[in-house]
A = this chain, B = another copy of it.
């Protein structure tokens, strides 16, 4: 029997594209052994051919023109590894219209334009896969979409952004302030020159959008998520959290509650006995609870050339199944949209809170703060006021609360900030 052949074109030879090329070249024999299919890297389109990449591309067509891939009838799988909106969106669109399967790691694009792209793939009888868009090398999309397919997903708690997790880990382990930890992350290559999307929670929100759409079989809108980043966290908060037995993590949260979805990204105090608290540095993990399987966790590297490429190539292999059977284009690999799911308004969600204030060290401060909380039905579970004075005679006060409504907490915080003995830079975090 003749060996089945897959011809791959890669658009974009940056970090991730380089990894994909490397696997297709170095693991060719391994993949053939495991699949009985021959995967051929035919063409790479990239504008910058001057960068040294330590790749032997003998036999691979190297071009600066993506059209050479999109118009090549022999190429049946296109890998998009440019990232960002345009021109990636245009290339993917054209590839799908040319009836080519597409694999991408582009979380921003899938989170914001996935709906129309999946529709386009379906109409053209091909598939669009995106395992690498969430959790880097962790097979979480496959795990969720296939491995846990028999489950209603009740909740997910994910550490989905490696940069912010690295920064928080440095703050915890090395006692750094946020800006110093960020600087270190940039020096080590764990943070971009412009780290906004990472430290603002935006990147984690993209990924949560994708996971939530799969889990709920609905079209979750990125803009509808509540998102808070890690920039306001100080070394002092890290130390307080530690003293209460918690680690601060940027969590992406999915919860099915009262027939709706509670979706949000924010820094969260995680108990030290929970596995997620031990997920350190640039690593990612997703804790998934299904109604039949119970609690599971998927852990691994959330970014980087080799892990991300590992995920992309697993998608290429999955697509090769479709290429050689008549099931191609039946859309079974797309995210299935069953119905709109109601998002619970953020104001109506209850959480336990960590509150940190700086107040002037005068009598009656605590009475007044706790009075406002009580007025808003918020009860305090734990309290610490440190003796260490600042020069300007402000002292830090930390309160942990029992479950309270977000709305109530928002109003209470506004009131508390009106007191002239309270400094503006207070912090409110949630407890997991």
Contact = CB atoms under 8 A, between A and B. Distances in A.
Contacts of A301: 293-296
Interface residues of A, number: 59
Given A137-B293, A297-B299, A301-B295, A149 B313 contact: yes
A129 to B, nearest CB: 12
Interface string A336-352: 10100000000000000
A305 to B, nearest CB: 9
A30 interface: yes
A139 interface: yes
Interface in A142-162: 142-143, 146-152
B306 A300 contact: no
A310 B290 contact: yes
A171 interface: no
A318 interface: yes
A306 B293 contact: yes
B332 A307 contact: no
Interface stretch (A5-13, A33-41, A381-389): A33-41
Contact of A23 (B150, B299, B300, B313): B150
A146 B137 contact: no
- Provide the main secondary structure of the chain A interface: mixed
A33 B278 contact: no
* Total copies of the chain: 2
Interface in A295-320: 295-301, 304, 306-307, 309-311, 313-314, 317-318
A304 B295 CA distance: 13
Interface in A107-162: 131, 137-139, 142-143, 146-152
A313 B150 contact: yes
A292 interface: yes
A136 B332 CA distance: 25
Given A137-B293, A142-B142, A149 B300 contact: no
Interface string A271-306: 001010011000001000010111111111100101
Interface of A: 19, 23, 27, 30-31, 33-36, 131, 137-139, 142-143, 146-152, 217, 273, 275, 278-279, 285, 290, 292-301, 304, 306-307, 309-311, 313-314, 317-318, 321, 324-327, 330-332, 336, 338
Given A142-B142, A296-B298, 13 more contacts: A19-B292, A33-B338, A138-B296, A139-B143, A139-B147, A142-B147, A278-B278, A293-B311, A294-B300, A297-B297, A325-B325, A325-B327, A327-B327
